[in-house]
Amino acid sequence: MSPRTLLPLWAAIFSSVLASPLAMAADAPAASAAVAAATPSAKVELFNGKDLAGWTSFLKGGAPAAETWSVKDGLLVCAGKPNGFLRTEKSYKQYKFTVEWRFTKPGNTGVVVHMTAPDAIWPKSIECQGMHKNQGDFYLWSGATAKEGVALKAKDGTVRGYRIGKQLDAEKPAGEWNTFTTICDKDTVTILVNGKEVNKATGLNLTEGTIGLQSEGGAFEVKRCTLEPL
């Protein structure tokens, strides 16, 4: 076969290789793999008392984490503004999460569990209310549902979320340390305030996700964030 005949043949082979799925896959950007939710096997402190390692911040307007979150004298300090949250980088399921916190003055915050992507204010998630004098209420956001709950409607009549009111008041006065525990067991989340069960949501359509601390208008301090197996 003459060199003149070989040229079209090699061109055809080269074109078919470039068009093959293997070649196209090599050129395409790699898809991000979904990270499976971890089930804790031992007690671990998620806040190390030194920095925000293991956590990521999302704040209204894209504000930097340092504008709201800091570590001082071994405590995690939240300025309360702007609205947003500090959440774990990892996703979890089947666990008990305890935060020991106090308001520097009466305000609002919360522990948010089963948070799902994308980050937003507020994402599809279960808010375990931490507002002063309201610790223990549930708020279900952006498509999260439970067996029971009172619909929260916007001005146009659309449902923004659902609320489940606490059954017991067990928090201490502002300025004193409160122990706030969420027990996430399959489709049920239970809230304990200072060791007393104050609320329970069942039949949830969320069972796993990241864990967040809300910045929502109230300055507060956190002593510890403990994750434990059930």
Q: What is the rounded distance in angstroms from the CA atom of residue 160 to the CA atom of residue 158?
A: 6
Backbone angles phi, psi at 139, to 5 degrees: -130, 125
29 pLDDT exceeds 90?
no
Contact 87, 121 (CB under 8 A): no
- What pLDDT sits at residue 34? 53
Please state the rounded mean pLDDT for residues 137-147.
97
> What length does the chain have?
230
pLDDT tens digits along 68-90:
999 999 999 999 999 999 999 99
Q: What is the rounded distance in angstroms from the CA atom of residue 80 to the CA atom of residue 67?
A: 10
Residues whose CB is less than 8 angstroms from the CB of residue 91 and which lie 6 or more positions away in sequence, other chains included: 35, 36, 37, 38, 208, 209, 210
- What pLDDT sits at residue 20? 37
pLDDT tens digits along 153-202:
999 999 999 999 999 999 999 999 999 999 999 999 999 999 999 999 99
- What pLDDT sits at residue 6? 42
Q: What is the rounded distance in angstroms from the CA atom of residue 42 to the CA atom of residue 58?
A: 28
pLDDT bucket at 11, cuts 50 / 70 / 90: very low
- What pLDDT sits at residue 51? 97
Record the pTM.
0.84
- What pLDDT sits at residue 212? 98
By the 10 Å C-beta count (0-12 exposed, 13-18 middle, 19+ buried), 51 is classed as exposed
- In the predicted model, what is the mean pLDDT of the chain? 88
Q: What is the rounded distance in angstroms from the CA atom of residue 191 to the CA atom of residue 137?
A: 9
pLDDT tens digits along 45-74:
999 999 999 999 999 999 999 999 999 999
- What pLDDT sits at residue 127? 98
Q: What is the rounded distance in angstroms from the CA atom of residue 187 to the CA atom of residue 174?
A: 32
Q: How many CB atoms lie within 10 A of CB 56?
A: 14
CATH code of the region 32-229: 2.60.120.560
- What pLDDT sits at residue 87? 98
pLDDT bucket at 224, cuts 50 / 70 / 90: very high
